[in-house]
Structure 1
Amino acid sequence: MKVLITGGSGHIGSHIAERLLARKDQVLVIDNYATGRRDNLTAQVGLQITEGTIADKVLVDRLFDDFKPDIVVHAAAAYKDPENWEEDVLTNELGTVNVVKAAKRTGVKRVIYFQTSLCYGLHPIEQPITLNHPLFSGKSPGGSSYAISKTGGEQYIELSGLDFISFRLANSYGPRNLSGPLPTFYHRLTSNKGCFVMDTRRDFIFVDDLVDCVIKAVDGAGTRGYYHISTGKDYSVKELFDATLKALGMSPETPVELRARGEDDVFTILIDPSKTNKDFDWTPKTSLETGIQKAIDWYKTHGITQTFTHLKVEDKKH
């Protein structure tokens, strides 16, 4: 099988690429390395890597024409600067349009997309959130440029008429993850910098479990439309911090500062995975404690120089 992966050198994309390559599929990766790392993928038989942006229509069209993919895994996303709306629109919306039109023109069998569960807005009207929940409902629609632009991209995919699976994700974590609280905690704790935790809860999905589900979608499981990838259980960010301390063998002298969440953040994102469990015959296997240890082992080996968030977090004290 020939699979084109946008954002294929990022946290999720690189793990998918490696899984496909291990079973002898041919993989073409496009990545601009805005948040992906060059050392996430090594040169190997069956892998082609192109450095560039999906906002470049000429490049996207050429790659599709030359490679002629059977499947597209669309993992590219802009999220590193919450104020850079222009880049979010260019990558998450225009870039998606470029990918979708090229996929339709060249006869791609299926597009697999990754959507943020922030598409349900900052004040969900049910817990857990089901796939029947309206988009951007409640008191504060949108909430962030990232959520708005990712949702726009998702809607263009549906508009295309292509067969697609859109996975609305819980917080993916594990080796190679540079966004969210876990790598931030590791980076600050190991750099002797102060930490704080937000008064929020999240469903954390380990990347290997996520990839198990995606590979099933590559192979044809599921029907056109929307699915959740999640564990169906949420944890406080304080619990994640405590588990990180345990994995590092650290005991701070003073309790960590607990901060109220910002206006662009949601208290909990707990999404219902029951449709995915059924249609994909899939359940996550990795405990939070095991997943955190695997992530930290990778951080220790590879190092972190930078972490990213789509949220506007003011570092008040440190």
Structure 2
Amino acid sequence: MNPERIQNEGQINPARFSIKDSVRYMFGEQRLLFVLIGITIVALISNVVVIPSSSQSEPISASFQVAVSTSVPRRIAYELPTRNFDLVNAAGARIPLGLKSKSLRVLVTGGSGFVGSHLVDRLMARGDNVIVLDNFFTGRKDNVLHHLRNPRFELIRHDVVEPILLEVDQIYHLACPASPVHYKYNPVKTIISFITLFSSRLRYHKTNVVGTLNMLGLAKRINARFLLTSTSEVYGDPLEHPQVETYWGNVNPIGVRSCYDEGKRVAETLTMDYHRGLNTEVRIARIFNTYGPRMCLDDGRVVSNFVAQALRKQPLTVYGDGMQTRSFQYVSDLVDGLMRLMEGEHVGPFNLGNPGEFTMLELAKVVQDTIDPNAKIEFRPNTEDDPHKRKPDISRAKELLGWQPSVTLREGLPLMVSDFRQRIFGDLKEGGSSMSTF
């Protein structure tokens, strides 16, 4: 700087110091201060300004954000940026932008099946990123086709008896043949043989045990919360009525239903062992008879049997004297219970079912009233190990989950009938089979 412009004690001579000299002085002598001020301004702007989401023309892979979880060291979760259609809750009401919680990455095994696909619908409506794992043994691709173009949805054809590595926050483990037709058709696939060296066909033993072990191992590795969908069949032919969660059951370990009953009992054991021994976060739901749209048309369950038979003008087949009792819950009630259990703080097991109890003859009468009053009833010999009574005690779910079913049988059955009518007569008009493979 020109010395003529500086006075004795380093002070600037205001009379001869121009604006140009002032700028040079500030950016020369005080440049560090201005760098700090600039960094502060940029940081403030980046926290206030919302960066718009990428356009739909951009590839999905280019729009991924990487976020490091603070709760799990060295774990990286890959999440799609929130889009406008994410900001709608399950009830359809829009959520204020500032109140939108972080969307979860959720794995649903068996997610293209009857219950699984309805659960996927609810999770997607909530704004979660959902991965469906299914081998389509009993599931149908049609059940989840409406999500395929959604960037938050992913469908993987995979059998849970084989390991897989994914990064998720929650695992809903629903994969298992759950109807008598399917688990009796291939009982070995339903449970397990621990001897896997004799034949490649023995891989079909593994769904309940090895599949559950694989998913528990995945949950342990990535610190995800794991929910097992067990069944009321763990109570067998109960000597206690109604059934409470503390009842140990009355199961025939060598009967035709034991592949399913004992398989689920082992799955519950494994789940609790991972919880107690390895501190894995788990939840257990014991599901009672459930009905609704997307059930398999000919899966051997009493509600789907009666509805399909009445629509096809066939006799309603009642096994035994028809005085066996069951409790029927609509699928939306079950999905609500599963989500409450997953989001709650209680391990379980919890009975999830409708305590309204019907005999098989009473159910047949409701189906007649709904579809065809002239439908005939045909009695056949009862099946082996068929439970005589089945009714859940849901006191625990009411108290700890704040859950109870709200849809009655006479309200829910017409919704199922409408779905069955479209699938049966729609397929027949096209000249195809009345039951889709997928």
Shorter chain as normaliser: what TM range?
0.7 to 0.9
Summarize deviations over 1:86-144 as a string: whole Å, max 9, x none. 21121111111111111111111x2111111111122x12111111111335xx34641
Q: CA deviation at 1:306?
A: 4.2
Structure 2 equivalent of residue 91 of structure 1 = 207
2:153 and 2:342 mapped to 1: Cα distance? Answer: 17
Distance change >3 Å, CA 23–CA 274, structure 1 → 2: same
Instruction: Find the aligned partners of 1:168 and 1:258 in 2 and give their Cα distance.
Output: 30
Counterpart in the other structure of 1:294: 415
Read off the aligned partner of 1:202 and give its amino acid letter: R
Instruction: Say if 1:168 and 1:227, in contact at 8 Å, map to a contact too.
Output: yes
Alignment partner, residue 245 of structure 2: 131
- Determine if contact 1:142/1:148 at 8 Å carries over to the other structure: no
Match of 1:16 in 2: 119
CA gap of 1:250–1:291, structure 2 versus 1, over 3 A, is same
SS at match of 2:208: helix
The yes-or-no answer on 1:75 pairing with 2:174 is yes
SS at match of 1:293: helix
2:186 is aligned with what amino acid? N
Matched, 1:203 2:327: yes
Kept in 1, the 8 Å contact 2:228–2:284? The answer is: yes
1:316 aligned residue? none
Provide the secondary structure at the position in 1 that maps to 2:154.
strand
Deviation at 1:202, TM superposition (A): 0.5
**Structure 2 gap segments, 5+ residues each:** 1-103, 192-205, 428-433
> In structure 2, what residue type is equivalent to 1:244?
V
Cα deviation digits, residues 57-102 of structure 1 (max 9, x gap): 2xx23xx2xxx11110011102404152221121111111111111
Count of matched residue pairs: 293
Residue 120 of structure 1 pairs with residue 235 of structure 2 = yes
Does the C-alpha gap of structure 1 residues 142 and 269 become closer, same or farther in structure 2, counting only changes over 3 Å?
A: farther
Give the distance between the partners of 2:211 and 2:173, measured in 1 at CA: 10
Q: CA deviation at 1:283?
A: 1.4
1:216 corresponds in structure 2 to: 340
Which residue of structure 2 lines up, in the alignment, with residue 111 of structure 1? 226
Hey, what's the Cα distance between the residues in 2 that align with 1:121 and 1:141? Answer: 10
Give the Cα separation in 1 of the matches to 2:115 and 2:386: 22
* 4+ aligned runs moved over 6 Å, structure 1: none
Partner of 2:359: 236
Match of 1:314 in 2: none
User: Match of 1:226, as an amino acid?
Assistant: P
Q: Aligned partner of 1:74: which letter?
A: H
Given that 1:232 and 1:273 are in contact with CA atoms closer than 8 Å, whether structure 2 keeps it comes out as: yes
For 1:289, the aligned partner's letter is R
Matches within 5 A, 1:34-45: 34-41=137-144, 42=146, 43=148, 44-45=150-151
Q: Residue 148 of structure 1: SS of its match in structure 2?
A: helix
Contact between 1:2 and 1:71, CA under 8 Å: does it hold in 2?
Answer: yes
Percent identity for Structure 1 against Structure 2: 27
**Aligned-pair CA distance for 1:215:** 1.6
Deviation at 1:190, TM superposition (A): 2.5
Residues 1:194 and 2:319 are matched in the alignment: no
User: What are the Cα deviations for residues 209-239 of structure 1, in whole angstroms up to 9, with x where unaligned?
Assistant: 11111121232x1412310001222111222
Deviations 1:193-216 (A, max 9, x none): 333113221011110011111121
**TM-score normalised according to structure 1 size:** 0.87
State yes or no: 1:246 paired with 2:369: yes
- The separation in 2 between residues aligned to 1:234 and 1:261, in whole angstroms, is 19
Q: Which residue is equivalent to 1:158? A: 272
One-letter identity of the residue aligned with 2:328: F
Can you list the C-alpha shifts for 1:134-167, whole angstroms capped at 9, x where unaligned? 1335xx3464111111221121111112222111
C-alpha distance in 1 between matches for 2:139 and 2:185:
20
Q: Do the aligned partners of residues 195 and 232 (structure 1) sit closer, same or farther apart at CA in structure 2, a change above 3 Å counting?
A: closer
Paired letter, 2:402: D
- CA deviations on 1:167-203 (whole Å, 9 max, x unpaired) are 1111011111224112212222333333311322101
1:196 & 1:222 partners in 2: Cα distance?
43
Q: 1:2 to 1:142 in 2, by over 3 A?
A: farther
Q: Which amino acid aligns with 1:2?
A: R
Give the SS at the match of 2:283: strand
295-304 or 8-17, which moves further after superposition?
295-304
Unaligned runs of 5+ in 1: 308-318
Q: Is the 8 A contact 1:119 1:142 kept in 2?
A: no
CA distance in 1, matches of 2:352, 2:207: 23
**Residues 277 and 283 of structure 1 are in contact (CA less than 8 Å); yes or no, is this contact kept in structure 2?**
yes
Q: Return the index of the structure with the highest Cα Rg.
A: 2
